[in-house]
Amino acid sequence: MITFTYRIETSGNIEALAAKIASDQSTGTFVALPGETEELKARVAARVLAIRHLPDAQQPSIPEAGGPFKRADVDIAFPFDAIGTDLSALMTIAIGGTYSIKGLSGIRIVDMQLPDDYRGAHPGPQFGVAGSRKLTGIVGRPIIGTIVKPALGLRPHETAEMVGELIEAGVDFIKDDEKLMSPAYSPLAERVKAIMPLILDHEQKTGRKVMYAFGISHADPDEMMRNHDLVAKAGGNCAVININSIGFGGMAYLRKRSSLVLHAHRNGWDILTRHPGLGMDFKVWQQFWRLLGVDQFQINGIASKYWEPDASFIESFKAVTTPIFSPDDCSLPVAGSGQWGGQAPETYERTGRTVDLLYLCGGGIVSHPDGPGAGVRAVQQAWQAAVEGVPLANFALKHRELARSIEKFGDGKAA
């Protein structure tokens, strides 16, 4: 049995709407048909398991006259055999007719429970938390990463120059901005050729290999695989993929053939979650992508520069680190957006005191007043303070880089 929980809102009848969703998404049609026997219904019909009423909405989520706008969380169960394990069938049942039903002013999928039939049916992450740690060699603290900025416009030699500086700075992970894929002024092949020798030289000298995530996304899976191969053959070990732009097909195709850590950017996901009465909780959506094989999942961070409230980030962190069937299907959470060391204590405290994350600072590292090297050390110091439970201001008394970082970013400028 596969169970979806829909948060529904209607000026009509909650029970009738719940029944309609169950019917429309399984046997339903708009006129009674001779073929619709009881046996058939038993085979595939969805059932409303539970209805939990909620307070009325003050305003309808989708503009509509009238009211009151009643709300409820409704659990609807689908027989496993009606869907199977294909994730495109699962998504079709989840959202297909549901979002189009008349007579609702809001609908949001807030939970999905997959049955044990799904165990082992999908590849899941190839590297995940353990693989990311092994490849970077970082233990006992977050993997600390940064992003090449500006987002767009640098030519390969200019990017490589910045990358060289970031490698020297001691960062563990570097990524292309997700908007950078393979434009004319910076074709991926040229970028790989300019950057990988720096990574490999540094590895030769120090034994530490910086993980660089190249933007390999392409709408055409064949092209994306060519991009993947360029990176892999040059000795790279990671790729940024824009999951919303490549879709399930791109992701499934890539995962089966990939030798790279797949770092997912959620580009555009917000439209599914930002309006609390509409769309789909990240908690539900991320299950699909983890089953498909996301190793590292970007989920914003505390005091991000985007709309997402801290509580939502914390929920997302919990979601990607909660096993669906086993700890191996968890992705490494990637906290990013407006991050510098300042958010380390709160991030640590509110995520269950774990250091299993990739902590991604853009300007928070490269715009440190004493340069990126000091930026990296300041973030490491902030995390050490967080783990030791020492307030940052105290820790900064004996750690100059952190102190300088607080001077620059402490008033919220990094956000």
Q: Which of 71, 141, 265, 399 binds a second copy (CB under 8 A)?
A: 265
* 251 part of the interface to a second copy, by CB under 8 A: yes
Per CB under 8 A, does 158 bind a second copy?
Answer: yes
Phi, psi dihedral angles at 384 (to 5 degrees): -65, -45
Q: Return the bridge partners of 146, or none.
A: 174
Residue 250 binds a second copy, judged by CB under 8 A: yes
Residue with token string 């985007």: 306
Return the closest-CA partner of residue 241 out of 196, 291, 295, 190: 295
Nearer to a second copy, 96 or 352 (CB): 96
d(CA 152, CA 135): 28
Binding mask 196-235 for a second copy (x = CB under 8 A): ---------------------xxxxxxxx-----------
What part of residues 110-139 is at the interface with a second copy (CB under 8 A)? none
Q: Among candidates 287, 223, 221, which has minimal Cα distance to 255?
A: 221
CB of 325 to a second copy, least distance (A): 18
338 Ramachandran zone, left/alpha/beta (phi>0; psi -120 to 50): left
- Residues 52, 72 contacting (CB under 8 angstroms): yes
Alpha carbon distance 305, 287 (integer Å) = 25
Task: Give yes or no for residue 89 binding a second copy (CB under 8 A).
Answer: yes
Backbone angles phi, psi at 45, to 5 degrees: -65, 135
Which member of 3, 113, 267, 354 binds a second copy (CB under 8 A)?
267
Instruction: Compare residues 133 and 149 and give the one whose CB is closer to a second copy.
Output: 149
Q: Which of 15, 307, 323, 327 binds a second copy (CB under 8 A)?
A: 307
On whether the CB atoms of residues 240 and 216 are closer than 8 A, the answer is: yes
Report if residue 315 touches a second copy, rule: CB under 8 A. no
Site string for a second copy, 33-72 (x = CB under 8 A): x-xx---xx-xxx------------xx-xxx---------
Residues 337-356 close enough to bind a second copy by CB under 8 A: 338
> Closest CB to a second copy among 10 and 321?
10
The correct pick among 1, 49, 91, 390 for binding a second copy (CB under 8 A) is: 91
Site size toward a second copy, by CB under 8 A: 105
* Interaction of residue 83 with a second copy, rule CB under 8 A: yes
Which residues have a Cβ under 8 Å from the Cβ of 385 and sit 6 or more positions away? 344, 345, 391, 392, 394, 395, 399, 402
Q: If binding is defined by CB under 8 A, does position 362 make contact with a second copy?
A: yes
Question: Of residues 15, 56, 86, 407, which one binds a second copy by CB under 8 A?
Answer: 86
Q: Which H or E run includes 92?
A: helix 87-95
Q: Quick one: which of 16, 54, 88, 391 contacts a second copy (CB under 8 A)?
A: 88
CB of 397 to a second copy, least distance (A): 25
Q: Note whether 287 binds a second copy by CB under 8 A.
A: no
Return d(Cα 70, Cα 48) in angstroms, integer. Answer: 17
Please identify which residue in 5, 10, 26, 331 interacts with a second copy, judged by CB under 8 A: 26
Q: Could you say whether residue 270 binds a second copy (CB under 8 A)?
A: yes
Which of 67, 68, 137, 276 contacts a second copy by CB under 8 A?
276
Main-chain phi, psi angles of 230, to 5 degrees: -55, -45
Cβ at position 88, least distance to a second copy in Å: 4
Among 9, 176, 178, 281, binds a second copy (CB under 8 A): 178
DSSP for 162-201? HHHHHHHTT-SEEE--TT-SS-TTS-HHHHHHHHHHHHHH
Token output for 323: 């096993």
